[in-house]
Amino acid sequence: MKKLLSVLSSFSLITFSTLSVVSCAGDFDYDSVYTEEPEGNNGQFVDDSTLKIVTKAEKLVNNHASIGANLGEAAHGKEWSDLSSDVKGSIQDQVYNYISDQLDLDASRFQLEIARDSTFSIPKLKGLTNESITEEAIVDSGNVKFYLKYLNKEIYRGEIKWSIPEFDVISSIANILNSNSAKNSIYDIKKIDIPLGAVDFSGVSMELTLGTITNLIGLLNTLLDSSLLGDVGVGIKNIMNMDVKGLAKADPDKNQSVYESFDKDFRKNLQTVFNGIKKLLDNFGIPSTITIPSFFEGKEPIEVSVDKLLEVNIFDIIDLDLSNLNEDIHQDVDSGMAIVGSVPVDIHVEGSMTSKGQKNSLKLIDLISNVAPNVVKLLNKFLNPDTYNPELGGSGNLLYLLLKELITDMDQDLETINRNNNDDNLSAGAAKSGLDSMFFNLILGYNKNKREEKDSAIYFKLKVQITAVPLGLTVKIDLLDDNLYQLLNKVRINPGEIVLKIINKLFNLEGEEYLDLNKPFISSEDNMQFIEPIDIYYDEIMSEADITEKPSIPFVDSDEVVRGILSGLDTSVTTQIADQINGMINGALPTLSLQDVINFKPSILLEQLGIVSENLENAEVKITQAHFVFQFWEPINKEWVSQTTGINDITFERYSSMKLHFFDVQFQIDMNTESNGSYTLKTRDDLRFDMIFDIADANKN
């Protein structure tokens, strides 16, 4: 008995618990508590599992417990006192089981009891107003007392504060988001990544974001002069060192060898880069096969080794079917002659495209090589650290820099190359912006002597045939039978203006002060007019029209009839061509609202606003309302200025960076759990935050 009391007393020193003496009588053999064996500690040994259990119990007491208990109606606001005794008992049993599981008790030696009296309480979520969390969300913890016994002797008692995961997640998310309320003088300015898509490396998907590209550029800037990148670095530096200035000085009619050498060297250097990427992946044990998804129905994804990527056929990835251009139109046209009157006319339109003389074939290397001078210039700009140095007029805002590169005047060398090769072309000869240069080089190539069908990477041809029947006799006219360069000499197209018109849907708000979250800022249904009938030079078209069949009409000048028919078709043809081009561009535009962009990868925005990623696995959080406007940094006055009337090249002379300002934002938190059903709660509706694209902009107020 003395030894037993001594052992039990030692528990009190270990567990800091108050123990009381009990009688020796009981259901258990207390001799198993200690041992008399000579190798032991003379009867003072106690099984160390008791200490482990007590340690676990102390951790439970010292930490908030999140118990996956089913609270029934109490999870949605019903008071404990209003619950039935069966429901109360079930909740208490679940709490008991949780504690037992956490302690991992051996039931043959340990006993656990919880207090099922008035001291037991359940958690409550406070801060709700009509299913919205408009103030701080507070979880009033539940309370449970428990008693731990060893061989019928109480060795520990404690009290646990507990909640359910649903309340913990909701309160955490809501409080983080509500901290950005307009009632607070300080709100979040976050550098938010922009998702662009995903790349599949041998079944492993890698997210591609604006941040990924920014980090890659930073890595290349750091390692470019080292040997760590191997052939990747060699190939990139070789491209950067290519002589675009020399190409600009060369006369394409007299120095064709300069152009041919430039093209050959670019292709070789670009292939070196992709060969180097494969070597790096192989060296690190990373599969070098990537999966390229097909963007139209009926085509399976393509698996290709990185070093073979440049040989991929674009037709296997993107639907470049031009059959939708083919159209037959019927109308009656006034001939302009009283004796002839109105003439029924059928118009047949047919488009086709080849690459290097081959149908349904366009290699990636040929497409990229068309813009080789532009690639050299872009690499020299974006792999130059000075580009990102504000003290040298640079910016760390990659999105701003890309917009600036596209919208402002093209580089002087690129302008000279364009003039040397496109000066006599109505459209390409008028190119002005960086985007103009990129676009015309892409579709035409920068070398005017490589635009025949057998040489051109993109050889597009449009035929327009007219069949007229004046006085019951047939007249046939080939109105157009032109390749792309010839078409661009009869139809004035300015790609920079077209893209700027699309971009300005975000910046020209037509009298409004902001854009709404759910209102599309781009839509094919806008039917934007990118070219007008006046941009179609019909006189030029008429002058080259080929009359393939002309009947002899008694007492009537057949040529005059044909000229009358062609003149009568002026409005019809120019309107038709303009509608075709506008329809193609509008049809290619997606319908996009900011909600669509955010929902493409919402976790990126939410995690960077401070939401723990684990919580996003248990709850869906989405923006239900928001207003937003782009703001540009004015360095002289040191202020952010909202852009609501559109941007142009002057914008990038006046401002040095840009951000996206959100206000009147409201989030909705949705949870659906097996234990406690569904929750749909909303935050305040006056939240605000800024999405910046350069960390340096976080300190600009």
Does 173 or 334 have the greater pLDDT score? Answer: 173
- What per-residue confidence (pLDDT) applies to 8? 33
Burial class (CB in 10 A: 0-12, 13-18, 19+), 285: exposed
Does pLDDT of 14 surpass 60?
A: no
Beta strands 189-191 and 687-692, pairing class: parallel
| pLDDT tens track for 371-386 | 999 999 999 999 988 8
* Poorest-pLDDT segment among 182-186, 215-219, 572-576, 583-587: 182-186
Average pLDDT, integer, range 287-304: 77
| pLDDT tens track for 497-522 | 888 888 898 899 888 899 998 888 88
- What per-residue confidence (pLDDT) applies to 596? 79
CA distance 262 to 260: 5
Does pLDDT of 271 surpass 80?
A: yes
Q: Which residue type is seen at 251?
A: D
124: Cβ–Cβ under 8 A, 6 or more apart, which residues? 139, 140, 167
CA 496 to chain centre: 24
- What per-residue confidence (pLDDT) applies to 61? 92
- Helix (H/G/I), strand (E/B), else coil: 467: strand
Strands (E), 578-650: 620-634, 639-642
Nearest to 419 by CA among 628, 226, 252, 259: 252
Cβ-contact 515, 523 below 8 angstroms: no
Does 159 or 529 have the greater pLDDT score? Answer: 159
Q: Determine if residue 445 is left, alpha or beta; phi over 0 gives left, psi from -120 to 50 gives alpha, anything else beta.
A: left
Sign of torsion, CA 443 447 452 457?
Answer: negative
Does 653 or 560 have the greater pLDDT score? Answer: 653
Q: CA separation (Å) from 323 to 136, 214, 353, 462, 581?
A: 60, 39, 10, 11, 14
- What per-residue confidence (pLDDT) applies to 48? 54
| pLDDT tens track for 610-666 | 788 888 878 888 888 899 999 999 989 999 999 999 999 999 989 999 998 888 988
Assign 529 a pLDDT band (cuts: 50, 70, 90): confident
- What per-residue confidence (pLDDT) applies to 12? 32
CA distance 456 to 460: 9
- What per-residue confidence (pLDDT) applies to 698? 78
C-alpha angle with apex 363: 357 to 367, nearest 5 degrees? 95
Averaged confidence pLDDT in the chain: 82
Helices (H), 75-164: 85-103
- What per-residue confidence (pLDDT) applies to 238? 95
Which contacts of 452-456 are long-range, i.e. CB under 8 A and separated by 24 or more positions?
453/354, 453/357, 453/483, 454/356, 454/357, 455/356, 456/355, 456/356
- What per-residue confidence (pLDDT) applies to 284? 80
Average pLDDT, integer, range 20-37: 37
- What per-residue confidence (pLDDT) applies to 5? 33
CA 681 to chain centre: 27
- Helix (H/G/I), strand (E/B), else coil: 440: helix
Q: CA separation (Å) from 492 to 51, 485, 538, 541?
A: 87, 11, 11, 13
User: How far apart are the two ends of the chain, measured CA to CA in Å?
Assistant: 77
Does pLDDT of 122 surpass 90?
A: yes
CA distance 681 to 170: 8
What phi and psi values does residue 76 have, to the nearest 5 degrees?
-120, 30
Burial class (CB in 10 A: 0-12, 13-18, 19+), 146: buried
Does 339 or 31 have the greater pLDDT score? Answer: 339
- What per-residue confidence (pLDDT) applies to 298? 65
Does pLDDT of 406 surpass 80?
A: yes
Average pLDDT, integer, range 519-527: 83
Which contacts of 252-260 are long-range, i.e. CB under 8 A and separated by 24 or more positions?
252/420, 252/421, 252/447, 252/448, 252/449, 253/449, 256/447, 256/449, 259/446, 259/447, 259/449, 259/450
Burial class (CB in 10 A: 0-12, 13-18, 19+), 665: buried
- What per-residue confidence (pLDDT) applies to 199? 61
Burial class (CB in 10 A: 0-12, 13-18, 19+), 119: exposed
Give the Cβ contact number of residue 73 at 10 Å. 14
Average pLDDT, integer, range 262-285: 92
CA distance 367 to 442: 7
Cβ-contact 463, 538 below 8 angstroms: no
Average pLDDT, integer, range 584-601: 77
Give the bridge partners for 163, in sequence order.
66
Does pLDDT of 88 surpass 80?
A: yes
Nearest to 457 by CA among 307, 354, 576, 321: 354
Does pLDDT of 158 surpass 90?
A: yes
Cβ-contact 511, 554 below 8 angstroms: no
